[in-house]
Amino acid sequence: MSYKQKVLDHYENPRNVGSMDKNALNVGTGLVGAPECGDVMKLQVEIDELTGTIKDAKFKTFGCGSAIASSSLVTEWIKGKSLEEAMSIRNTQIVQELSLPPIKIHCSVLAEDAIKLAIRDYLNKKSKNSHLNKEDSKI
Amino acid sequence: MIQVTEKAINEIKRILSNDPTVQGAHLRVMVAGGGCSGMSYKLGFEKELPAPTDKVFEKDGIKILVDAKSFLYLSGNVFGIERKFKIDFNYVESKYYELCKVLHPDRFIQSGEAALKVAHERMSFLNLAFQVLKDEDKRRNYLLKLHGICPDLNQKDSLQEVPLELTEAWFELQDLLSENPTQVHEKTIAFLKSLKQTQDETQIKITECEENYDQSLDRALLEEIAKLLKKQNYLNSLEKDFYKKIKAS
């Protein structure tokens, strides 16, 4: 069976490929691996701290066409969204958009989990940092 | 062993006490040829003494008789061994050959078409059981399935079993490979080493859990094993991918 047009499009012209500084405070990184096939996906989000929205998103995926297309698609989707909106993206939406066959559903799960991990990573950093600031002010 | 539920015993008692013609009779259960899928159950009361080859089960004073051949199907435990990870395979093998001698379809050529068909089905059932017991992986999966635990690799929570450090190392290695394939030799060796080590550790943990289960029959251990299997599955696919990528570059 051949890949659907949308998958091919994302595979041949992936959007938002690249890396961000994972140590930057306003950047969250999500790294996930698929137990089914050894695919790995890294998704990073840059947060606009003033508005609490996702300013930019980048990904790098080593895996099959569907995994690349899923991650490419979600970087487009989450740009400009609030954290809550991005967190609410479900893998079924990705499956629908890309018409993924059942055997490739795990790729969409990977993308959903990558978003969540990336945002969680950002929130963790933020809360740790504000904690540190508080301690600083104590001194 | 076969299991007889409380409800079944009560029903048997009810029939026995209501019908004077079967008073004091035993219940015979058998699996016979015929029926829509080739086999059918037959139940009946009889007053004769059990034959020497019959298996006799007693519950609440009710005797249940099963002939040796039907017992093969009903017990679900053809070889009469305990359902544990470690089995005495020599015993199973000798039992298998013993059963083959008795049940081989060639012995039923004279017994008519229906009996021959049953003999064939019985033999393939026996062969399947033997194949499962022989193979360590199949045996493990069978045991887990018996307890309703399937190491389903498409489950969403499978992500939790992915070892994060290795995933990170794997990602970085591929990143390097795609950018600068000539300078990754050391990294490659280091990655393979930690992969192998994690695989070995996981295998040791699986074996430990199996040994503990055989002692305690604690269901939680089976769940732990299913988790570890998922992890091992991931590691194995990483290994396969690794060699594929290395060959390509």
pLDDT digits (tens, 9 = 90+) for A78-101: 999 999 999 999 999 999 999 998
Give the active site residue among A7, A89, A94, A107.
A107
Q: Tell me, what's the pLDDT at B170?
A: 84
- Comparing CB atoms, the residue among A35, A60, A106 nearest residue B161 is A35
Q: What percent of chain A has pLDDT over 90?
A: 60
Compare all CA atoms of chain A with the CA of B165 and give the residue at the minimum distance.
A31
Q: Tell me, what's the pLDDT at B156?
A: 47
CATH architecture type of domain B6-74: Sandwich (2.60)
Compare all CA atoms of chain B with the CA of A33 and give the residue at the minimum distance.
B167
The yes-or-no verdict on residue A73 having pLDDT over 70 is: yes
Phi, psi of B31 (to 5 degrees): -110, 125
B159 to chain A, any CB pair closer than 8 A? The answer is yes
To the nearest whole angstrom, how far is the Cα of A137 from the nearest Cα of chain B? 35
Q: Tell me, what's the pLDDT at B38?
A: 56
Asked if B170 and A31 come within 8 Å (Cβ–Cβ), the reply is no
Chain A residue numbers with beta carbons less than 8 Å from the beta carbon of B231 are: 35
Chain A residue numbers with beta carbons less than 8 Å from the beta carbon of B154 are: 36, 105-106
For B45-76, the DSSP string reads: EE-SPPPTT-EEEEETTEEEEE-HHHHHHHHS
Per the DSSP assignment, residues forming a β-bridge with A61 are A41
DSSP state of B182: G
CA distances from B151 to B112, B222, B231 (A): 44, 10, 10
Give the active site residue among A37, A40, A87, A105.
A37
- The dihedral built from the CA positions of residue B76, B80, B82 and B87, taken in this order, carries a sign that is negative
Q: Tell me, what's the pLDDT at A83?
A: 94
State the count of interchain CB pairs (< 8 A) between A and B.
54
Asked if A42 and B171 come within 8 Å (Cβ–Cβ), the reply is yes
B157 to chain A, any CB pair closer than 8 A? The answer is no
Residues B84-96 as b or e (16 or more Cβ within 10 Å = b)? ebebeeeebeebb
Which of A42, A59, A111, A71 lies closest to B168 in space, CA to CA? A42
Across A43-47, A48-52, A94-98, A127-131, least confident range: A127-131
Region A117-126: mean pLDDT is 93
The yes-or-no verdict on residue A139 having pLDDT over 90 is: no
Chain A residue numbers with beta carbons less than 8 Å from the beta carbon of B233 are: 35
- Comparing CB atoms, the residue among B156, B178, B237 nearest residue A38 is B237
Asked if B237 and A113 come within 8 Å (Cβ–Cβ), the reply is no
For chain A, domain boundaries: 3-130
B156 to chain A, any CB pair closer than 8 A? The answer is yes
Tens-level pLDDT at each residue, chain B (249 residues): 577 778 888 888 888 888 888 888 888 888 776 655 556 778 888 888 888 878 888 888 888 888 877 776 676 667 878 889 999 999 999 999 998 988 898 988 888 888 888 888 888 888 988 998 999 988 998 888 878 786 555 454 445 566 777 888 888 888 887 777 676 677 788 888 989 999 999 999 999 999 999 999 998 999 999 888 888 888 888 888 888 877 776
**The domain over range B89-146 is classified in CATH as 1.10.287:** yes
Q: Is A64 a catalytic residue?
A: no
Q: Tell me, what's the pLDDT at B41?
A: 78
Which of B119, B98, B100, B123 lies closest to B108 in space, CA to CA? B119
Q: Tell me, what's the pLDDT at B158?
A: 46
Query: Is the complex ipTM higher than 0.85?
Result: no
Q: Tell me, what's the pLDDT at B76?
A: 60
Q: Tell me, what's the pLDDT at B72?
A: 67
Binning pLDDT at 50, 70 and 90, where does residue A117 land?
very high
Compare all CA atoms of chain A with the CA of B242 and give the residue at the minimum distance.
A38
Q: Is A107 a catalytic residue?
A: yes
Considering only residues B130 and A134, tell me which one the structure prediction assigns the higher pLDDT.
Answer: B130
Q: SS3 for B41?
A: strand
Contact B15, B7 (CB under 8 A): no
Region A58-73: mean pLDDT is 92
B71 to chain A, any CB pair closer than 8 A? The answer is no
CA distances from B104 to B53, B92, B114 (A): 18, 17, 15
A9-47, pLDDT tens digit by residue?
Answer: 988 889 999 999 989 999 999 999 876 677 899 999 999
Compare all CA atoms of chain A with the CA of B234 and give the residue at the minimum distance.
A35
Asked if A35 and B234 come within 8 Å (Cβ–Cβ), the reply is yes
Compare all CA atoms of chain B with the CA of A64 and give the residue at the minimum distance.
B241
CATH fold, domain A3-130, is Sufe protein. Chain: A (3.90.1010)
- Comparing CB atoms, the residue among B154, B161, B174 nearest residue A62 is B174
Considering only residues B163 and A106, tell me which one the structure prediction assigns the higher pLDDT.
Answer: A106
CA B207 to centroid of chain Cα atoms: 17
Phi, psi of B59 (to 5 degrees): -145, 130
